[in-house]
Amino acid sequence: MRPLERFSLEFSCKTTPRLLFTLISTPEGLSRWFADTVFVEEDIYHFKWEGSEQRARLTQWKENEYVAFQWLDEHHRDHVLEMRILNEPVSSEVALVITDAAEPGDMEFSHRLWETQVRRLQRLFNP
């Protein structure tokens, strides 16, 4: 198994930090854009996509600012997915910064996958 490299992507979101936080931190919100199904058992989030499942623990969060999930599956063990909300109060601009990890050869695929997922999220604000 090759080591994973961390990367960050920033996406503009035409919404409020409060709504965005709900969509990145709750099973109901995450099920609307990130995974087909999300549920929580104790402190473990279960993410299901078309026949696959990954589990993660919510390790850090600050309301309306960020969440961090530590993956529990063998391939991504100890890697953290962070979703951080940037809020510029003067201009009212809100952005979502995703920090994730991928194998070097899968970096382009991972970026495209995040772009697709975040487009689903953005459509929730601008149907």
Domain count, the chain: 1
Mean pLDDT: which of 33-37, 86-90, 123-127 is highest?
A: 33-37
CA 37, CA 44: separation in Å to the nearest integer? 14
pLDDT tens digit sequence for 87-114:
987 777 899 999 999 989 999 999 999 9
Residue closest to 92 by CA, chosen among 25, 20, 33: 20
**With contact defined as beta carbons under 8 Å apart, do 16 and 31 qualify?**
no
| Residue 54's CATH number | 3.30.530.20
Please indicate, yes or no, whether the overall pTM of this predicted structure exceeds 0.85. yes
Domain that holds residue 94: 5-125
CA 26, CA 46: separation in Å to the nearest integer? 12
Helical (H) or strand (E) element with 120: helix 107-125
pLDDT band at 13 (very low <50, low <70, confident <90, very high): very high
pLDDT tens digit sequence for 46-60:
999 998 999 999 999
Residue ranges of alpha helices (H) inside 26-106 are 27-31
The two three-digit tokens of residue 116, written as one number: 């697709």
The two three-digit tokens of residue 62, written as one number: 């600050």
Residue closest to 9 by CA, chosen among 118, 97, 88, 85: 97
